[in-house]
Amino acid sequence: VPLLQRCIQLLLLPIHVLACLGIWDCFYKKVFPYVMAKVAPIYNHKVYKQKQELFGNLRKFAGPSGQLTLLEIGTGTGTNFQFYPPGCRLTCTDPNPNFRKFLLKSLSENRHLKLEHLVVASGEDLHQIPDGTVDAVVCTLVLCSVTNVKKVLTEVLRVLRLGGAFYFLEHVAADHSSWTYFWQKVCDPVWKYFGDGCSLIRETQKELEKTNFSELNLRCIHVTPYWIPTSPHIIGYAVK
């Protein structure tokens, strides 16, 4: 693994140098939203049925007023909007302000939603959101790239009201005895350059199990094509 890692790093040496100089991150944060605007619809098509099933019970977590207050962490281009129930009161957060125009375009195409707040913030620090004020939190393909998964989940618990739910869909590390995990280990050091900090070997399910949720509904799936290192996924929801 170390030998193959070094070979790939050598091939991508110019990008590594730019990253060390702080140039690559500045450049890629501007480009990444355009990349995701093209890639997200393709991915959504692959997991459409899974997302439809996942978000199908969002309504049951609505507050006493009957309206659902939903916070999405790492909203990106707004690829999940089509799955949210009508009348949903939405707060969107993302650390990259360059996603704004794509997010607003998605909102214009999903007029069944009501945007209440649009916040530039990382998942580790959601201090703009008061304690216990959210019915549901959604996080898809985000925990792979955050700096600290535990801090994000701590913030999720803080902002959720008692009985609220956290919905997730994340690619994770494969079984350690598999060839997929072998290639995940090989590619991981350079994958972050093209996935905005994304890691291929996060074991997010273990962090979810350690978090103080009263209920955890989680299952493993694979997204096609099965040979790519991001194929293994976890999907489900947890209740506070």
Which tokens is 62 given? 């609505």
pLDDT for 207-218, tens place per residue? 999 999 999 999
Q: What is the pLDDT of residue 13?
A: 87
Write out residues in the chain with pLDDT < 50, as ranges: none
Neighbouring C-alpha atoms within 13 Å toward the C-beta of 146:
24
pLDDT for 13-28, tens place per residue? 899 898 888 899 999 9
Q: What is the pLDDT of residue 9?
A: 85
How many distinct structural domains can be found in the chain?
1
Q: What is the pLDDT of residue 206?
A: 97
- Domain limits at 43? 1-239
Q: What is the pLDDT of residue 5?
A: 86
Q: What is the CA radius of gyration of the chain?
A: 18
Taking Cα atoms as reference points, which of 151, 162, 178, 175 lies closest to residue 234? 175
- Supply the CATH number for residue 106's domain: 3.40.50.150
Q: What is the pLDDT of residue 58?
A: 96
Using CA atoms, how far residue 61 sits from 91, 123, 167, in Å, is 16, 21, 11
Q: What is the pLDDT of residue 63?
A: 86
